[in-house]
Each structure stands twice: as C-alpha cells, then as structure tokens.
Copies of this chain bind each other. A is one copy, B any other.
Amino acid sequence: MTEHIVKQFDEDLKSLSEMIAEMGGLAEKLVAESIAALLKRDINGAQRIIATDRVIDRLQHQIEEKAVLTIAKRQPMAVDLREIVAALRVSNDLERIGDLAKNIAKRVIAIEGQLQPPKIAGGVDHMGELVLAQLKKVLDAYSGRDAGKALEVWQRDGEIDALYTSLFRELLTYMMEDPRNIGFSTHLLFCAKNVERIGDHATNIAETINYLVTGEMLTDERPKQDLTSTLAFGGAQ
C-alpha cells in the first residue's frame, strides 16, 4: 500500500474501534440497567432500556457497512483483515447482548407488582455482577488487544453457568412450593437464562480477541457450559 492508503486504512480501523467502543459501552450500560430494573422493579427504567436497544442495532449496521467498505477500498492483507473480521464478530455479539438486556426489561414490565423472594433476587444480583465484570473485562481486553485478559474471561464463564444452574434449581423449588409462584418464576427463569447467555457472548468476544491477536481459534471445548439443559428434573425433587 502507498503511505497515503496506509494512513487512510489506519484511520478506518481507528474509527471502527471507536464505534465498537461506543457500542460496547452502550451494551454494558443496558445490561447493568436491565438487572437493576429487575431488582428494583423499575418500570420506567425498563421502558428506557427497550427504547435504547435500537441505538445498538443501528450501530451494528453502521459497523458492518464501515467494515465492508474498508475491506473493499483498502484491500488489506491477513492481519489487517483479522481486525475487520473481529470488528464484525464483536459487533454481532454486542447486538445480541443488547437484545437480551431488552428482553429482561420486557419481563420487568410483565412481572410488575409481584413479590420477589429475597433469596432469588440475591442470586440474580450475584449473576448480574459477575456477568458485568466479565463484559467490562472483555471490552477492556478488546481495546487493549490483550489475549491474556481475554483468556481469563473465557476461563471464568463456567462460574456464571454454575450460578445459573443453582438459580434454576431454586426457581424450580419455589415453583413447586406454591403454584401461584409459577407464572412469575417462569419470567425469572428466562431472565436468568438471558444473563447466562450474555455471559456466553462475552466468552465469544474473548474467543474473537484471541483469534485477532494470535490468528488462531480457541479449539478446546469451553471450560463449562450451562448444564441445566441436560438436567433431568423429576417432578418430585
């Protein structure tokens, strides 16, 4: 590439990174707010989250467009292409994280006024804190191109899964105790599942960072997975 083209390309990459940073900040904010809204039963907050999710969707399309135009105009080679593929993948995961936060917000509105048992609220709170820490760390790892930090995120996803499995069991027990808890607990079950999936997307981003830095995919199976889909709950336990 000529010096001029190299400079333009660097500017394109910088602007892509800035867009991802903006999107990441927004996704983080939506996740924090959706969990807070769930714990505080904050209907107004929930409605704000639902409206803000569109901004994330728009950002994703802008990043996609910018990425593709950058490739077409600058014809980058290997390592630079990875930068752009990574931007596409990360923006895709962030868009899904925004969607999941929005879905939690919708359920906050649905369960308005219903009692929340303190033990379960505590479980959601704990999962939320962990997933937010993972999300923050992986976004830092992305902006610092830090494969080591990304690997830490990747390795810690199992903790979120374990918390989810324990919350899943508690919610089922709670449903069995009194049929009046079923409707409400079902919404919480989906909320907890959404938080767990946000953790999965943070792990996807960690994999993308590793690919970006090393050029290789993490081929090992992930450390742990959500096990609840394989738990055979008999009715009587």
List residues of chain A with CB under 8 Å of any chain B CB: 61, 64-65, 68-69, 71-73, 75-77, 81, 84-85, 88, 92, 103, 106-107, 109-112, 114, 172, 175-176, 178-184, 186-187, 189-190, 193, 217, 229-237
User: Do most interface residues of chain A lie in helix, strand or loop, or is the interface mixed?
Assistant: helix
Among B75, B172, B175, B230, point to the contact of A73 (Cβ < 8 A): B75
Please determine whether B235 and A184 come into contact, CB atoms closer than 8 angstroms: yes
Q: Which residues of chain B have C-beta atoms less than 8 A from A186's C-beta?
A: 172, 186, 189, 233
Other A-B contacts than A183-B232, A183-B234, A184-B233, 16 sampled, CB-CB below 8 A, are A64-B85, A68-B81, A68-B85, A72-B77, A73-B75, A107-B229, A110-B229, A110-B232, A172-B182, A175-B175, A178-B235, A179-B179, A183-B235, A186-B186, A187-B229, A189-B189
Count identical subunits in the complex.
2
Please determine whether A180 and B234 come into contact, CB atoms closer than 8 angstroms: yes
Determine how close the nearest CB of chain B comes to the CB of A37; give it in whole angstroms.
Answer: 14
> In the bound complex, what is the Cα–Cα distance between A69 and B68 (angstroms)?
11
Q: Which residues of chain B have C-beta atoms less than 8 A from A106's C-beta?
A: 229-230
Please determine whether B182 and A232 come into contact, CB atoms closer than 8 angstroms: no
Please determine whether B193 and A190 come into contact, CB atoms closer than 8 angstroms: yes
Would A180 and B112 be within 8 Å (CB), given that A68-B71, A81-B68, A230-B106 are in contact?
Answer: no
Determine how close the nearest CB of chain B comes to the CB of A58; give it in whole angstroms.
Answer: 10
